[in-house]
Amino acid sequence: MSFITTQHDGLAKKIGEFFGSRGADSDLIFYDGVDSDQNVFITVTPLGYPDKLKTLIQCLALGDFQVLLVTPDDKMDAQMGEMIVALETHPEGIPLVVLGGITKVNEYLVDEVKAKLLQIIKNTSLKDKVTDIIVMRNPETNLPAFKQLIMSLAAKIPDKKAGNVRILVDASFPVKGVGTVILGVVKSGSFNANDMLELTDPSEYKNVIVKSIQMQDIDQKSATQGDRVGLAIKGLKPEDISRDNMFVTKGSMKAYADIKIKFRLSKFIKKSIDIKDKQLYHIAIDHQVFGAMPVKIEGTGEAGILKPNEEGTVTFKCEKKFSFNDDNNWGIIVFLEKFSGKLRILGWGRVQPA
């Protein structure tokens, strides 16, 4: 589950601790655990948000569920608007809205906040997916029911265990006597210890051998879709690996510096995209977030210009090569700048080689 929230040490912490143990902190906070029925649960919260939009985008890429966590004290302001738009950016995910952090002091606001959220959502692409708000008045009694809901909805997630391996990297570091270790989430496919995978890289792909696999600090022979893993690998140093990289089935992906995306520019963006402006934007595909300059705009009312609430196909020349294939080619176009009260998410759509 990816949490969209500013309540990192409040509501998100309570829910995360219910599902598992807290991992090492970075700009993403992980909680992961396995219940008595061997169901794996992973929650992740973007510690750097709202100032760091990149953290939120990378957080969203990890989860099959995109969960907006709101409290009665949260304001229905520009930041809330951006979080709801962020919830829209993954149409193949399962969006949920949870209203918690309820106290005797703010409980009188619950019905009002719930009504406002539903009204806002009715004007978005989420209207048919989020038809109600999950009200969590008492986490101790409500969280077991929330867990059951997650388990029932998980049955709707496409099974990609037989597909190509794709592991999103969270962190890499050296371990004495072991070598390079990476932490990540398996988004698709299955693999075994001693298998060879490929590290995607903007400059050069590299072969990597998985020496061992750990989950919950226990050695495993294999890992599959949905697992949070620690991998001891051979062939790379920690400094060679970042969140820009993925571990994938060899030959399953290609890298492209020129890409095109058909998307609708958000109606809440005040300025058009005009190739004459030479404006640098950023595009996110999975954890890859690179600068990109629009060089061609087609299918719009005015050549070379994409206006707010208008759909068109934009060709971008990217600062680094993006790795993707037909299974993971969803791109999000953003302004990568510090939050200043305005929407930074411009649009989203399928990415193709230009």
Direct distance between the N- and C-terminal alpha carbons of the chain, in angstroms, rounded to an integer: 33
Say what the pLDDT of residue 262 is: 98
% pLDDT > 90, the chain? 88
Say what the pLDDT of residue 217 is: 87
Say what the pLDDT of residue 24 is: 75
Quick one: how many helices (H) and strands (E) in the chain?
5, 24
92-145 pLDDT, tens digit each? 899 999 999 999 999 999 999 999 999 999 999 999 999 999 999 998 899 999
Say what the pLDDT of residue 9 is: 78
- Name the 3-class secondary structure at 59: helix
Say which CATH class 166-248 falls into: mainly beta
Which CATH homologous superfamily contains domain 2-154?
A: P-loop containing nucleotide triphosphate hydrolases (3.40.50.300)
259-316 pLDDT, tens digit each? 999 999 999 999 999 999 999 999 999 999 999 999 999 999 999 999 999 999 999 9
CA dist 207 and 294 (Å) reads 33
Q: 25 pLDDT exceeds 80?
A: no
157-172 pLDDT, tens digit each? 889 899 999 999 999 9
CA dist 350 and 267 (Å) reads 19
Q: 83 pLDDT exceeds 90?
A: yes
Say what the pLDDT of residue 222 is: 97
- For the chain, the structural domain boundaries read 2-154, 166-248, 254-353
Say what the pLDDT of residue 8 is: 78
Say what the pLDDT of residue 117 is: 96
Per-residue confidence band for 323, with pLDDT thresholds at 50, 70 and 90: very high
Which residues have a Cβ under 8 Å from the Cβ of 29 and sit 6 or more positions away?
A: 8, 12, 16, 22, 23, 44, 45, 47
Q: Do domains 2-154 and 166-248 have the same CATH topology?
A: no
Say what the pLDDT of residue 37 is: 76
Minimum mean pLDDT range among 2-16, 102-116, 168-182, 193-207: 2-16
* Residue (of 159, 217, 212) closest to 32 by Cα position: 217
Please, which residues bridge with residue 79 across strands? none
Say what the pLDDT of residue 136 is: 95
Say what the pLDDT of residue 155 is: 86
Say what the pLDDT of residue 156 is: 85
26-71 pLDDT, tens digit each? 899 999 988 877 788 999 999 889 999 999 999 999 999 999 999 9
CA dist 199 and 212 (Å) reads 16
Q: Report residue 348 as tokens.
A: 């989203």
Mean pLDDT score of the chain = 94
Say what the pLDDT of residue 26 is: 85
Neighbours of 294 (CB within 10 A): 24
Per-residue confidence band for 7, with pLDDT thresholds at 50, 70 and 90: confident
Q: 326 pLDDT exceeds 80?
A: yes
Fold annotation for 254-353: Elongation Factor Tu (Ef-tu); domain 3 (2.40.30)
Output the CA angle 80-81-82, nearest 5 degrees: 90
